[in-house]
A and B are shown apart, each in its own frame.
Chain A
Amino acid sequence: MDWQAFFLTLRLATVTTAILLAVAIPLSAWLVLGRERRPAAAGWLAGVEALVTLPLVLPPTVLGFFLLVLLGPHTAFGRGIAALLGHPLAFSFDGLVVGSVIYSLPFAVQPLVAGFAAVPSPLIDAARILGAGPARMTATLLVPLARRSFLTAGVLVFLHTVGEFGVVLMLGGDIPGSTRTLSILLYNQVENFDYAAAERTSAILLGLSVLALAAIYWHSRERRESHA
């Protein structure tokens, strides 16, 4: 068993989940509160939402290719990042994190937007007339009332990152200890006809998925029972 790939994958998924939750909370709140406050702006907010959802339908290899070019030495952005960090982002763990964050963005934003949008608008009106701005409304109203959406978003992002292949391969390649995740390892094992090892790697990926989904369903059952 390649524990290095296992722990690298867990690290990548954990870092991506943490970053995405931090990014998705204000982004989702902005989308929902923007619709509430200015229905006339709903059109272009829907455009932003569609842009955020794009990685969901874009082939991962295409996204990986775009990022590879963008973060590589052929663009000013890529050169700027390399100068800033002292190394290029492509073919590095940090580059994988950037790719994973963009790739899994819709998996964090969609559940949170749905959760925040389910908060009844009279509550939002009440907070507004009591002087709460968007940040306070998010912290004191949307986040506590949409708690379950955080578990869904966190688990989906984590699993999506664990199973990521196309973006990782295009952007990170296959560098042991740096960019070789379980999905890449599995691909290598199958390519080398090492089916026994491939079965073990697949079992781990399957186990992670089942555990995470069980956590969501267990949590939702607990909630249903506590409300009954």
Chain B
Amino acid sequence: MLEFELEARRGSFHLQVEGRFAAAWTVLFGPSGAGKTTLLRLLAGFDRDRLHGVGRVVFTERLLTDGKRGLHIPPGQRQTGMVAQQTALFPHLTAAANVAYGLRNLDGAARNRRVEEMLDLAGAAALARLRPQDLSGGQAQRVALARALAPAPKLLLLDEPFSALDGQASDLLLDRLKEWVRAHGMQTILATHDVSDALSAGAEVLLLHEGRRVAFGPAAEVLARERVRLLIRLGPD
């Protein structure tokens, strides 16, 4: 269960949104500039200086941010994983070393097993020895996903994580990921502006527009209008 009440400013942009996510998979849906990335970053514990007002985040009854009490748990101590739009792989490390970065507490053998498992899950097992500069955009996103999942976070934040993958590869990876996070009791929030991604997730959807919550509920209800538009665009075939 994730509850939050957040207000933040970045230049002229003003985000003011609250939510209570109980589902294992929630989609943040909205056009570019709606505030999806800003919200995910605040939930992850970044951009503390942009917070205004109450600023409250509670995850599984643990208070992570509380503006009133000046409480702010740093990003690395929130048991949160994040895949940002920019994959931000460490350029001097191989894909495997990138995935191993957050596994400092495991001994060598356990760490290697975990790295292999995560790369395999993300469909990037063959990329282990490659460096980020030798990866395509889609491959880098797979490795970034493996890196975020490796420390077994309780909350996974995905910001347009498969934008560089083609539709079929993205759907396959999304299905595999959903199965895996369900099996491991992980709560996931996926930010996307792609209707098909949001609908295929079959989850609860928070519709954002210009930093405000417009609607929240099951994907089929919240995105009914977008679904019709998508169907019209796809045509009678």
Contact = CB atoms under 8 A, between A and B. Distances in A.
A99 to B, nearest CB: 37
B195 to A, nearest CB: 27
Contacts of B84: 122, 125-126
Given A122-B88, A126-B90, A131 B76 contact: yes
Contacts of B82: 129
A45 interface: no
Interface string A107-126: 00000000000001011011
Contacts of B218: none
A183 to B, nearest CB: 40
Given A39-B49, A125-B46, A125-B75, A130 B88 contact: no
Contacts of A120: 88
Contacts of B89: 126
B211 interface: no
A93 to B, nearest CB: 39
Contacts of B88: 120, 122-123, 125-126
Nearest to A120: B88
Contacts of B147: 126, 130
A129 B81 contact: yes
B90 A141 contact: yes
Interface in B77-117: 77-78, 80-82, 84, 86, 88-92, 101-102, 104
A132 interface: yes
A123 to B, nearest CB: 5
B76 A130 contact: yes
A133 interface: yes
Residue among A40, A128, A129, A130 with most chain B CB within 10 A = A129
B122 interface: no
A126 B139 CA distance: 17
A62 B26 CA distance: 64
Bin the interface of chain B by size: 20 to 34
Interface in B162-176: none
A38 interface: yes
A16 to B, nearest CB: 29
A129 B90 contact: no
Contacts of A140: 90, 101
B53 interface: no
Contact of A132 (B45, B46, B76, B92): B76
A15 interface: no
A122 B49 CA distance: 17
B46 A131 contact: no
A145 interface: yes
Given A40-B49, A130-B102, A131-B102, A123 B90 contact: yes
A141 B82 CA distance: 18
8 contacts: A122-B84, A122-B88, A126-B90, A129-B46, A129-B75, A130-B147, A130-B151, A144-B92
Q: Top 5 A-B pairs ranked by shortest CB distance?
A: A130-B102, A122-B88, A131-B76, A126-B88, A129-B75
Given A125-B75, A131-B151, 20 more contacts: A38-B48, A120-B88, A123-B91, A125-B46, A125-B84, A125-B88, A126-B89, A126-B90, A126-B147, A128-B46, A128-B74, A129-B44, A129-B75, A130-B101, A131-B76, A131-B77, A132-B76, A133-B76, A140-B90, A145-B91
Interface of A: 38-40, 120, 122-123, 125-133, 136, 140-141, 144-145
Interface of B: 44-46, 48-49, 74-78, 80-82, 84, 86, 88-92, 101-102, 104, 147-148, 151
